[in-house]
Structure 1
């Protein structure tokens, strides 16, 4: 066999290297920046880039440190995107909402010990010269072009909760509820500025880097802090000019924004309000406690299927909870048959629709029922929601002190081997590939607010 020409091999490598980088959702990522690159923010402060630590749906994240610092500790992260990319939304949200004094004033006003809202540190634009190939042909010269970036600087945090779920499969009642209580505090804060987060999920919840450092990265022991990040999908639920709440109107352009398994029913049709965030949190709590055992997990690529499934189950909370928490933790999830026609033509075990399972965790039923009753423009009673969870923690025999930990769970039911659920009008619903515990990608991209 003839060996490939060295020149041809080099040409192939060069062609591959010149290909644009694409995120999982199809978004073209910005060209990477080298370690040591200096970025100058809008206040003329310089930042030194460290290594890239992640690529998201709309940009890349690097460690960073102030250029003026004598320390080699990279205690900050810089989120980098194209100059005209979606980071514009997130950057302006941080600038309006997440300034240090605003967070400090809120904590004092509410008498909180902690608020997991990342602080805005800096932002700016960055230009970088790049050599690109000129016209084809022998003797062609490289053309110098300018790559334009937008960047945001925030504090650096620790491990995300999805990585903890990958190890432990599910969270204990105290851990799930303690984290949820902290999220409710964050939601009340951002809602007070007229925004909703829209994309609460384990991968957007980060532990404290300082608390992890004390434990030498072992992720064992007791934690007390968790931060909600990634505000790239924030939505205004009130009009900027007059502060009037937006009406309940379907918007196909915004339909299905969010992460498939946790998107609220309102978001599935392009509507957004404060109750949307609370509903998203409901689905997260169910997933954390059950090990990802949600009825719609097996066909996440079909947004209409997911929407129908949520509409059905949120009107039948007993059936939903029985699906997530069957009497025996070792039993596989039953087929969620939602029509009498299908029920009479299948031998599959059906979810009990009337008698609550004894495995249903304390408090979760009340939390979901309150969320369902919320009206579109109604302000959630954040204190009441927290009280439901706090009382459940105490009734379970634990102390509601805001602390949580992670322990290995060997009896968690796995959603991977379970059959697909069915929804009305979808008797022969196609089964998607076996889902993992990792959240699905964002369904749609984001526009400027």
Structure 2
């Protein structure tokens, strides 16, 4: 086999490393062996890894059936070797080449070559491997790994973690019982709602006296492998009743609309469920498409939601999916508003350190496309500004009936482009939504403030809350008054 390399002396060991990794990978794949290193970056692996934890590259394991059959049916199949045959010999010994073995292949000085052929003139910018027609197909297929591979934005997106698609849950029969991890049994009393990913039931705890159709809790049911586990994790970490109680005492609040998790567990080895308090009905269930709310109702809702956002942000999380379907109003206590639906909750500040802005690190356009922030559209981890901007979009939608991109939600990229266009033009956004009609001044001030926030910047919650609450007081209303959803 005739092989020669045009590489600079300083890059010789790198090229040999990559050649060695490639040959070892091909050997492992041909016999169905697991890899003990990543052929892309060289990171050491455990035998059951499917993806490299360092670079995210999918690891090859088995060839397809035809290739395996052909390799096993040929008893004399030669192993690929370079002109200096000791590289192939190394494959039979230690899984990692020693420094001495590397020197043996790179030589003592800059004039040596792998193939023994006359050395080409040095080009420090080249890292190229040329394979002649007589070279092995095995080595020819491996050469792209030796060439430089710049990591573009598109490549980064392809290597980002892909969430496993969860199958939609099948409804359970009313009257069926489930048992949570604490051993408490819950009876399904009434099917409340169903979507492609989750089902809600009214439930009651099974006791000797439980015989009525009333319920004080709701059960949220979803596929075990879906995002409901993320919500469970958030509720257990950030929504502990003791933490919420202390927060309300410190802030002198009588209510905080954050639901507690009163139980959780698995059912039929396929479903995961959460037991939540009965929060009433969703805001979306009271609103027809294009219907608007009064300025008073929008300000009441926004102040209550802003209270919840400040709490969860101080506890290192963001909601990342604020819209009317995740907002509940308890009409037995019509001044109380809950923010629920934490399937997309993101820990933006683990151990007090804010995550870096990195596009493509998460699934792009995740959440309700009409209301999520530009950061979420781009696949960057949502931050505090993401929640506040999403709340601003909701306020506009509730007041105007629609947003400039409402009709474009089937094409998330177009929605993102529209949002980016208005990030620095709040006045233009106001005009597009309301035309010549008057817009609440407090809402416009709020939008201007949250649109100018930097990714890691801590918002001034007191200023934001005071602006909305002051406008509410000017209308002669307060947070303690019932929320009137009639326009």
| Normalised TM-score (structure 1) | 0.68
- Whichever of the two has the greater Rg, that structure is 2
Q: Distance in 2 between matches of 1:405 and 1:52?
A: 26
Confirm whether residue 88 of structure 1 aligns to residue 229 of structure 2.
yes
- Report how far residue 400 of structure 1 moved: 3.0
Question: Which residue in 2 is equivalent to 1:44?
Answer: 183
- How far did residue 168 of structure 1 move? 8.9
Runs of at least 5 residues in structure 1 that lack an aligned partner in the other structure: 1-25, 128-146, 212-222, 329-358, 410-449
Tell me the residue number matched to 2:312.
190
Q: In 2 relative to 1, CA 209–76 (structure 1 residues): closer, same or farther, beyond 3 Å?
A: farther
* 2:340 paired residue number: 229
Aligned residue in 1 for 2:218: 77
SS of match in other structure, 1:92? helix
Aligned counterparts of 1:274 and 1:280: Cα–Cα separation in 2: 10
Residue in 2 that maps onto 1:247: 356
Does residue 387 in structure 1 map to residue 466 in structure 2? Answer: yes
1:199 lines up with 2:321 in the alignment: yes
Describe how 1:144-293 pairs up with structure 2 within 5 A.
147-166=269-288, 169-208=291-330, 210-211=332-333, 223-239=334-350, 242-251=351-360, 253-271=362-380, 272-292=382-402
1:53 and 2:164 aligned: no
CA apart distance, 1:65: 0.5
Q: How far apart, in 1, do the equivalents of 2:302 and 2:308 lie?
A: 10
1:376 — aligned with what?
A: 455
Q: Secondary structure at the match of 1:206?
A: strand
- Structure 2 counterpart of 1:398: 476
Runs of 4+ in structure 1 over 4 Å off: none
- Could you tell me how far apart the structure 2 residues matched to 1:55 and 1:107 are? 33
- Aligned equivalents of 1:109, 1:384: Cα separation in 2: 18
Structure 2: distance between partners of 1:176 and 1:108: 26
CA contact (8 A) 1:168 1:406 kept: no
Distance 2:258 2:196 in 1: 21
CA-to-aligned-CA distance 1:94-131 (integer Å, 9 cap, x gap): 1112222221111111111210001110111223xxxx
**1:255–1:268: 8 Å Cα contact kept in structure 2?**
yes
8 Å contact 1:250–1:270 — kept in the other structure?
A: yes
Aligned equivalents of 1:324, 1:59: Cα separation in 2 = 33
Within a 5 Å distance, the mapping from 1:264-343 to structure 2 comes to 264-271=373-380, 272-292=382-402, 294-328=403-437
- Output the CA distance in 2 between the equivalents of 1:60 and 1:398: 40
1:17-64: per-residue Cα shift (whole Å, max 9, x none)? Answer: xxxxxxxxx852223221222211111111111222111342211111
**What secondary structure does 1:366 align onto?**
helix
- State the TM-score, normalized to the length of structure 2: 0.63
SS of 2:264's equivalent in the other structure is strand
Q: Is the 8 A contact 2:262 2:276 kept in 1?
A: yes
The residue that corresponds to 1:348 in the other structure is: none
Aligned residue-pair number: 320
Aligned to 1:105: 246
The answer (yes or no) to whether the contact 1:178–1:402 under 8 Å persists in 2 is no
Shift of 1:323: 1.3
Contact 2:330 2:337 in 1 (8 A): yes
Contact 2:372 2:390 in 1 (8 A): yes
| Deviations, residues 290-328 of structure 1 (Å, cap 9, x unaligned) | 122x11112111111111111111211111111111225
Structure 1 residue matching 2:352: 3-state secondary structure: coil
Distance 1:166 1:69 in 2: 42
More helix by proportion, 1 or 2? Answer: 2
Q: Tell me how far apart the structure 1 counterparts of residues 408 and 376 of structure 2 sit (CA, whole Å).
A: 18
Residue pairs, 1:56-67, within 5 angstroms: 56-67=195-206
Displacement of 1:187 after TM fit? 0.5
Greater relative contact order (Cα < 8 A, sep 6+): 1
Q: Measured at CA, do residues 408 and 209 of structure 1 come closer, stay the same or move farther in structure 2, by a change above 3 Å?
A: closer
